Amino acid sequence: MREAARASSGARVDLLLIAEMVQPGSRVLDVGSGDGELLELLATTRGCDARGIELSREGVNAGVARGLAVIQGDADIDLADYPDNAFDYVILSQTIQATRRPKWVLEQMLRVGSRAIVSFPNFGFWRMRLDLLINGKMPSTENLPYRWHDTPNIHFCTIRDFVDLVDEVGAGIERAVALDASGHPVRFNLPWAVWNLLGEQAVFLLSRKG
Amino acid sequence: MSDSDTTLGEIRAFEPARGEADHPHSAIMRFGADKPLQLDAGGVLTPFQIAYQTYGTLNAARSNAILICHALSGDQHVANVHPVTGKPGWWETLVGPGKPIDTDRYFVIGTNVIGGCMGSTGPSSLNPASGKAYGLDLPILTIRDMVRAQAMLVDQLGIEKLLAVVGGSMGGMQVLQWAASYPERVFAAFPIATAARHSAQNIAFHEVGRQAIMADPEWRGGRYLAEGSSPRRGLSVARMAAHITYMSDSSLHRKFGRRLQDRDGHTFSFDADFQVESYLRHQGEAFVDRFDANSYLYMTRAMDYFDLAADYGGVLANAFKATKTRFCLVSFTSDWLFTTADSRNIVHALNAAGAPVSFAEIESDKGHDAFLLDEPEFFAITRGFIDAAARAVGVS
């Protein structure tokens, strides 16, 4: 979906961050696996049994050609078909804003996996706020170049909104990292309000409560 | 001896395909009394033979073998000129040098299934007990019987583990059965446009075909070969009905619409006024020249009986418990005979079993037949899946 800052390895920074949150050797389901970049990273560097769900046939083809297990499907529907606790981690990378039922998807993720990792673009990022304030138009950035009427993203949220949703589904936050516009973690252990302003995107590691 | 030769000669005159039944234009593996085939229906088939073709070269490690399983009316002539029709092999689009299943790299085996009429033991083969064609004296066969026979062939070829087992439709059923029966012998399984069980609707279509054959007076209780007749009309009608199910409404419409055949107006008769009618008649006629009516009965029955979950306590996932085989399934959007839902049902079971599984639904308006036609996206995923399996196994 996006070509954010890349580390020297060539992988997207947020993907490296996600991979680092995953215990080696885990069973992982990547929802919206794209061309399989994260799946391959998890399989090769973390020794994971990594599976993917991807909406586009091009993405499925790319993943299969990489030797990965990728199922063509729609997160909004197909997560219901997976048994409870089938995975250690269910990952949703830069996709939650494109789902029709984000809350349901998050609940399903925490049913299918004991942990969920979600990364998303933060609509509360200061540049977004400024854009809307000054131009009075829906923000369009390098990483989110779509126009309002022609975008796969239908449920934008801010970091604050997401934290509320996590509360609502009764999940716990084990780790949260906000990345600034250049892909670096927002440095200090700052309050949510500051993260929400400075984070261009965020990565959350969630666990089922109780 | 001379008696059976005469019979064979007479039969050839009636039924061109009959000549292939005992003496096919391909390799044959014979299994004598020491190696009987156990049948699901009870008892054994012995002696029996399997006709097969191979393409490419088996490598020193014997790790590059791919078994191709054919659909209802297919045979072992996957990628060579068909000896009866003179047409290209049924999967030459997919299998051959440089093709998605690359015979420069892989050792490809195509077999004629047990029950077929192209050289594997089937109802048109000579029954050694009577010296005449088996006809209905052949026991009913199942998909699992077919696969059991294929496994014996693969044994004889000295191959312990297949790199991949590939097939569409009835061939896909065989792929699933292979993965369930011999998980340790299948590295990668590629079931295409298939289902884990034959639906009531599909059984119904098969029954129409079988009744058409059995209603033909020339069928003669299945003894037509011994009696020198041939249920051509019945088999032709069976094929016509089946052929409709292989296409989609839109592909029929695109090909023919309501266009008339060699005439300017309706004749107000039951002639083939419409192009689609003469097309179906032609399909039916051509089929009779290469296929045996009793084989059609046996093979459709084998598909009807196929219900993999039922063999595993009603839970399909149990068929694939602890499997290490990697799967890739493909369906086609306009296939109403074996739908995407059928494939997804298998995918769910494989997921529940924790098996590594991929799945793609290919956009096509060509119906069930799409898996035999030029579909670039299908070819791309085939090449990707097979080559990735080869890399994982270390086939260069």
- Per DSSP, the residues of chain A read -----B-TTSSBHHHHHHHHHSPTT-EEEEET-TTSHHHHHHHHHS--EEEEEESSHHHHHHHHHTT-EEEE--HHHHGGGSPTT-EEEEEEES-GGG-S-HHHHHHHHHHHEEEEEEEEEBTTSHHHHHHHHHH-S----SSS---TTS-S----B-HHHHHHHHHHTTEEEEEEEEE-TTSPBP-S---HHHHHHH-SEEEEEEEE--
How close, in Å, is residue A122 to chain B by CA atoms? Answer: 32
Between helix A102-112 and helix A159-168 the angle, nearest 10°, is 60
Averaged pLDDT, B324-346 = 97
- The percent of residues in chain B predicted with pLDDT above 70, rounded, is 95
Judged against a pLDDT cut of 80, whether residue B6 lies above it is answered with no
C-alpha distance from residue B76 to each of A203, B20, B25, B26, B119 (Å) = 54, 12, 10, 8, 9
Contact yes or no for B358 and A70 at CB 8 A: yes
What pLDDT, on a 0 to 100 scale, did the predictor assign at position B242?
96
Between helix B275-288 and helix B232-246 the angle, nearest 10°, is 120
- CA B89, CA B91: separation in Å to the nearest integer? 6
Contact yes or no for A69 and B361 at CB 8 A: no
Contact yes or no for A69 and B326 at CB 8 A: yes
In a mutational test of the A interface, the residue from B318, B381, B395 whose CB has the highest number of chain A CBs within 10 Å is B381
In a mutational test of the B interface, the residue from A60, A66, A68 whose CB has the highest number of chain B CBs within 10 Å is A60
Give the A:B interface size as CB pairs under 8 Å. 67
**Which residues on chain A are in Cβ contact (under 8 Å) with B391?**
67
Where do we find the tokens 């947020």? A14
Averaged pLDDT, B163-168 = 98
Averaged pLDDT, B339-353 = 95
- CA A158, CA A202: separation in Å to the nearest integer? 9
Contact yes or no for B360 and A57 at CB 8 A: yes
Judged against a pLDDT cut of 50, whether residue B4 lies above it is answered with no
CB-hemisphere CA count at 13 Å for A27? 11
CB-hemisphere CA count at 13 Å for B267? 10
**pLDDT confidence band for B373 (50 / 70 / 90):** very high
Judged against a pLDDT cut of 60, whether residue B104 lies above it is answered with yes
State how beta strands B37-38 and B44-45 pair: antiparallel
A interface with B, Cβ–Cβ below 8 Å:
27, 49, 51, 57, 60-73, 81-83, 86
**Which residues on chain A are in Cβ contact (under 8 Å) with B392?**
67
Q: Cβ distance B330 to B359 under 8 Å?
A: yes
Averaged pLDDT, B186-201 = 98
Of B358, B388, B391, the CB nearest to A60: B358
Q: Is B369 a known ligand-binding residue?
A: yes
Of A27, A62, A72, the CB nearest to B359: A72
What pLDDT, on a 0 to 100 scale, did the predictor assign at position A210?
63
Q: Mean pLDDT in chain B?
A: 94
C-alpha distance from residue B316 to each of B312, B345, B351 (Å) = 7, 9, 11
What pLDDT, on a 0 to 100 scale, did the predictor assign at position A190?
77
Q: Is B18 a known ligand-binding residue?
A: no
What pLDDT, on a 0 to 100 scale, did the predictor assign at position A195?
86
What pLDDT, on a 0 to 100 scale, did the predictor assign at position A11?
65
Averaged pLDDT, B63-88 = 96
Judged against a pLDDT cut of 70, whether residue B13 lies above it is answered with no
Contact yes or no for B328 and A81 at CB 8 A: no
Neighbours of A84 (CB within 10 A): 8
* Domain coordinates in residue numbering, chain B: 8-393
**Which residues on chain B are in Cβ contact (under 8 Å) with A57?**
360-363, 377
Residue B393 CA, chain-centre distance (Å), reads 27
What pLDDT, on a 0 to 100 scale, did the predictor assign at position B252?
94
Q: List the structure tokens of B72.
A: 């209802």
What pLDDT, on a 0 to 100 scale, did the predictor assign at position B304?
98
Of A69, A73, A83, the CB nearest to B356: A69
Nearest CA in chain A to B188: A67
Contact yes or no for B392 and A67 at CB 8 A: yes
What pLDDT, on a 0 to 100 scale, did the predictor assign at position A140?
81
State how beta strands B27-31 and B65-69 pair: unpaired
What pLDDT, on a 0 to 100 scale, did the predictor assign at position B2?
38
Judged against a pLDDT cut of 70, whether residue B3 lies above it is answered with no
Contact yes or no for A64 and B388 at CB 8 A: yes
Q: List the structure tokens of A196.
A: 């929400």
Low-confidence ranges of chain A (pLDDT < 50): 1-4, 8
In a mutational test of the B interface, the residue from A48, A71, A112 whose CB has the highest number of chain B CBs within 10 Å is A71
CATH 3.30.1490.20 fits B8-393, yes or no: no
pLDDT (tens digit per residue) in B56-70: 999 999 999 999 999
Averaged pLDDT, B158-182 = 98
Judged against a pLDDT cut of 60, whether residue B10 lies above it is answered with no
Query: ipTM beyond 0.85?
Result: yes
Residues in contact with B94: Cβ distance below 8 Å, sequence separation at least 6, in sequence order: B100, B101, B379, B382
Of A57, A61, A71, the CB nearest to B357: A71
Q: Cβ distance B136 to B225 under 8 Å?
A: no
Active site residues per annotation of B:
169, 335, 368
Nearest CA in chain B to A62: B384
Residues in contact with A126: Cβ distance below 8 Å, sequence separation at least 6, in sequence order: A197, A198
What pLDDT, on a 0 to 100 scale, did the predictor assign at position B396?
83
- Helix (H), strand (E) at residue B187: strand B186-192
Judged against a pLDDT cut of 80, whether residue B393 lies above it is answered with yes
**pLDDT confidence band for B5 (50 / 70 / 90):** very low
Of B351, B360, B384, the CB nearest to A72: B360
